[in-house]
């Protein structure tokens, strides 16, 4: 069999997205404008309304703005699972705060709230749970934990669109802020981009101001309102985190297609679960009743009786024409975090052990049935 190499991820972009971006380019308005405003409104409506959505140029920027708006400052601590991308922690450093890494639950690889409780100090101000792979940290437990310790919650929902958490969509709950990513590999994309969602109007206003240089009127407002267009006030030293209208135009189409893309990923996960049932792998956990899985990542863990280790498995998958990845190399194993906070593998026994046997298989909505069978055949050829 001589199939083309299947990459680990490929965005699901069709003619509708291309036409929407072309229309935006022809409209004469490229930067944040009518498409970005409409995208924010439609995103908030998707989550059920009653929310403010703030479009940004990445989830990393969104995390920075959310932490800033809730008041994270020098010396403040934010609890972050070690099993995440570096953004969740680095944005705390931007503000002079200290991320406090936390070990993960062995089943879900999401933040272990019992371990988090042990790491709370009088400097801890917030917790930033990551809904790993698209399966949410159970909300009742998360809410109770935050209340017990007086912490604000900033959800890193980069994987969790759309995800139901105990009956409520992630982003439609009561937490201070929820941050989504529209990076090219995520469940919906604008190339680069993100969205912050909050129910708190003052928080939304602060994030909108800081998103654009600390200016309290955005460019689109200035050119479309009756006040003189040359006038603006700088009220804080803000950032440059606004989303372009070309990106927002793509995002509006992706948002409409999100349920269909989600259903495709769920079907792929079902096929993988069935195909790997008799293999020496631990398959990903399933959502509990009332919750759902966005299936951004399909992570398997090789068990002791697997004929090869994780690194060799990745090489053999590549030889069989399938790209894979690892989500994540835990933060405490990266030089910056390890050396800055003097962290050792033993401080995070679950994440350190699970990392050694974890691998992510391709699961994206643009995969054909033949692509899915290509992955199944490659995995079974190595482990079967
Ligand atoms: C992708 C990702 C981010 C960063 O998203 P960007 O939009 O690329 O900034 C943050 N957290 C997690 C868990 C991610 O997977």
pLDDT given for residue 297 in this prediction: 98
**186 CA to middle of ligand 1, Å?**
9
Index of the ligand 1 atom closest to the CA of residue 60: 9
Cβ pair 80, 63 in contact under 8 A: no
Opening angle at CA 334, ends 364 and 101, nearest 5: 85
Which of 158, 328, 351, when mutated, tests ligand 1's pocket best, judged by the most ligand atoms within 8 Å of its CB? 158
Residue 331 per-residue DSSP state: G
Q: Find, among 101, 162, 102, the residue nearest to 136 by Cα.
A: 162
- Nearest CA owner, ligand 1 atom 5: 59
Catalytic residues: 186
Index of the ligand 1 atom closest to the CA of residue 87: 10
Contacts of 40 (CB under 8 A, 6+ apart): 53, 54, 55, 195
Ligand 1 pocket at CB < 6 A: 58-60, 84-85, 87-88, 130, 156, 158-159, 181, 183, 194
**193 CA to middle of ligand 1, Å?**
10
Strands across the sheet containing 298-302? 281-282, 298-302, 358-361
**Mean pLDDT per 10-residue interval, the chain, length 384 residues:** 86 98 97 97 97 98 98 98 98 98 98 98 98 98 98 98 98 97 98 98 97 80 69 93 98 98 98 98 97 98 98 98 98 98 98 98 98 98 96
Contacts of 57 (CB under 8 A, 6+ apart): 192, 193, 194, 241, 242, 243, 244, 247
Residue 33 per-residue DSSP state: S
Index of the ligand 1 atom closest to the CA of residue 181: 7
The reported pTM is 0.97
**156 CA to middle of ligand 1, Å?**
8
**88 CA to middle of ligand 1, Å?**
8
Give the tens place of pLDDT for each residue, 193-240: 999 999 999 999 999 999 999 998 755 566 666 767 788 899 999 999
Index of the ligand 1 atom closest to the CA of residue 63: 10
Opening angle at CA 263, ends 259 and 268, nearest 5: 150
């Amino acid at each position: 069999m001589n199939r083309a190499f299947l990459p680990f991820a490929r965005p699901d972009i069709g003619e509708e997205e291309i036409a929407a971006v072309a229309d935006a380019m022809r409209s004469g308005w490229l930067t944040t404008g009518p498409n970005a405003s409409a995208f924010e409104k439609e995103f908030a409506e998707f989550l059920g309304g009653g929310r403010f959505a703030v479009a940004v140029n990445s989830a990393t920027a969104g995390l920075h703005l959310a932490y800033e708006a809730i008041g994270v400052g020098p010396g403040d601590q934010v609890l972050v699972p070690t099993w995440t991308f570096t953004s969740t922690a680095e944005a705390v450093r931007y503000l002079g705060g200290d991320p406090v890494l936390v070990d993960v639950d062995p089943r879900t690889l999401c933040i272990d709230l019992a371990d988090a409780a042990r790491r709370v100090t009088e400097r801890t101000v917030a917790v930033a749970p990551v809904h790993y792979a698209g399966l949410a940290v159970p909300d009742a437990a998360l809410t109770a934990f935050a209340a017990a310790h007086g912490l604000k919650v900033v959800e890193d929902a980069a994987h969790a669109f759309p995800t139901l958490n105990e009956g409520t969509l992630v982003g439609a709950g009561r937490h201070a802020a929820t941050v989504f990513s529209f990076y090219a590999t995520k469940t919906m994309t604008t190339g680069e981009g993100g969205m912050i969602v909050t129910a708190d109007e003052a928080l939304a206003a602060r994030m909108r101001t800081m998103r654009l240089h600390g200016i309290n009127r955005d460019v689109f407002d200035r050119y479309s309102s009756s006040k003189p267009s040359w006038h603006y006030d700088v009220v804080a030293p803000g950032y440059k985190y606004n989303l372009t209208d070309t990106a927002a135009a793509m995002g509006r189409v992706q948002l409409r297609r999100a349920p269909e893309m989600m259903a495709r990923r769920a079907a792929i996960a079902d096929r993988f679960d069935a195909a790997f049932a008799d293999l020496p792998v631990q398959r990903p956990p399933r959502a509990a009743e009332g919750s759902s899985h966005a299936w951004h990542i399909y992570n398997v863990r090789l068990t002791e009786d697997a004929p090869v280790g994780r690194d060799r498995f990745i090489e053999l998958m590549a030889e069989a024409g399938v790209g894979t990845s690892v989500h994540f190399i835990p933060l405490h194993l990266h030089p910056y975090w390890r050396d800055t906070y003097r962290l050792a593998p033993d401080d995070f026994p679950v994440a350190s052990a699970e990392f050694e046997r974890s691998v992510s298989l391709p699961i994206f909505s643009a995969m054909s049935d033949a692509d899915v069978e290509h992955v199944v055949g490659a995995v079974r050829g190595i482990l079967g």
